[in-house]
Structure 1
């Protein structure tokens, strides 16, 4: 069984992406790892080159700046597809990790076993992972309906799979949902944990891939830093972070506290949340996949 990892990144230093931790977290599962490094305004290329592994293969890309590519975050899917296209054709599975995601080391045996179990079952086109979304600091996680619970991160390397919409998930090239198996493995998402001033810079930059420039300027001109306090609901994180993330956790140099008893829900969301807590069923949940 051959496994390839793949990812894309741009301006990782400028916007404090844990891309080194992301790549490092999945390397134990991979025979090779392709990184599409976009032309950057910082030392992103040198950062990736500094990872001490001969499994890593870098491809150099230039992001499409056209309005069409920016609409709906499409350029992110384009960059994902560039990395996927560079994966060796003889790889059985391809493991996708984004620049702010980290696989917990406790999940490595689970992922490896699942890939081995379904290696010859062509009906299984991907593996679905659970998500833990951190917000504001390394001590809180999002627990409301606004956070997606699961997403595909391992796909069968058939050449017939493409990144979907803004690169959150995948579909076949003829736009069919992938048939997947849910596994008991966890991706930790750290995109909403940065110093407030860095978070504002990141959002101002990233929003260009979804919104018009004048709309972005109006939304950000009144704030010097990002205000984390507007979130609807958070829960305390009581587990342990992936080992590769612990140095970042220890370096946190800003303060954020949140009263986890408060729930800023509309009556409708409050009812839907009650049903989910009671039954585990998330009514109306977005599912870009089919169970195999």
Structure 2
């Protein structure tokens, strides 16, 4: 069985993406990792190249800044890495630059890849998600945060990156058939110094705002408090590869949980999920088989 990881990244140092930790977290499960490195101006290519020269293969890319609808450029960059994967690969392990796989899931992931490798009715494997916000101590709990997503897919040319690269589809926009895993991916995209977060949000907004986007930069720190509806304190463990980054955190974010603003429907969905493991009424970008 051959497993190839794939990812994309641009200006990881400038915007403090944990791309090193992201790639390190999947390397033990992969024979090779293909990374599409965009036209960066901060040494990102050298950073990625130095992680594991034996396993990591870089594809140099140029982002198409004319793609300004719905984050489409992210899917295009994902596709560049995906299409560069060798044909003899069985499974393709996708990780984004702000996601880190928890090592507690390694054994289950390996077992699932072996179990379903020759079962063509299974298109991919589904991971659980924790979305951190403001700091490494809080996670989002409302429906705005997706609870699970596909991160391992079959090496099938009919599969493609969907919309803003959150997930995958195949053929004529068909949802993938997947097997769920008890394995966690930690999403750290909303954990950056407030000044860096503001800069990143400003520069990336053009990929979602359409042709009417106009630069309106205001030099200020991102106000985490005013952009969230509900959080809860994280009581678990972070991936081992994240320990150094967490220890180096140099800003303060404390959130009063009494400020949570969840409507009754959201509270009901959270309760059902805790009792049954299923979350009613949420849209899913996959079909569990």
The match for 2:246 is: 249
For residues 101 and 270 of structure 1, the distance between their equivalents in structure 2, rounded to whole angstroms, comes to: 27
Offset of 1:272 from its aligned partner?
A: 4.3
The match for 1:30 is: 30
The match for 2:237 is: 240
For residues 214 and 240 of structure 2, the distance between their equivalents in structure 1, rounded to whole angstroms, comes to: 36
Offset of 1:205 from its aligned partner?
A: 1.2
The match for 1:61 is: 61
- Confirm or deny that 1:148 pairs with 2:112: no
Offset of 1:165 from its aligned partner?
A: 0.4
Give the TM-score normalised by structure 2: 0.95
**Residue 127 of structure 2 contacts residue 149 of structure 2 at CA under 8 Å; is this kept in 1?**
yes
**Residue 80 of structure 1 contacts residue 163 of structure 1 at CA under 8 Å; is this kept in 2?**
yes
The match for 2:40 is: 40
**Deviation sequence 1:225-276 (CA, Å, 0-9, x none):** 0011121111111111101000000000000001123321235444544554
Unpaired runs of 5+ residues, structure 1, are none
**Residue 69 of structure 2 contacts residue 210 of structure 2 at CA under 8 Å; is this kept in 1?**
no
**Residue 68 of structure 2 contacts residue 211 of structure 2 at CA under 8 Å; is this kept in 1?**
no
Offset of 1:208 from its aligned partner?
A: 1.0
**Residue 73 of structure 2 contacts residue 164 of structure 2 at CA under 8 Å; is this kept in 1?**
yes
The match for 1:258 is: 255
Offset of 1:283 from its aligned partner?
A: 2.9
Give the TM-score normalised by structure 1: 0.94
Distance 1:210 1:11, change over 3 A: same
**1:239 aligns to what SS in structure 2?**
coil
**1:52 aligns to what SS in structure 2?**
coil
For residues 62 and 215 of structure 1, the distance between their equivalents in structure 2, rounded to whole angstroms, comes to: 20
**Deviation sequence 1:85-128 (CA, Å, 0-9, x none):** 00011000000000000001111111111000101111111000
Offset of 1:216 from its aligned partner?
A: 6.5
Q: State the number of aligned residues.
A: 288
* Root-mean-square deviation over aligned CA pairs: 1.7
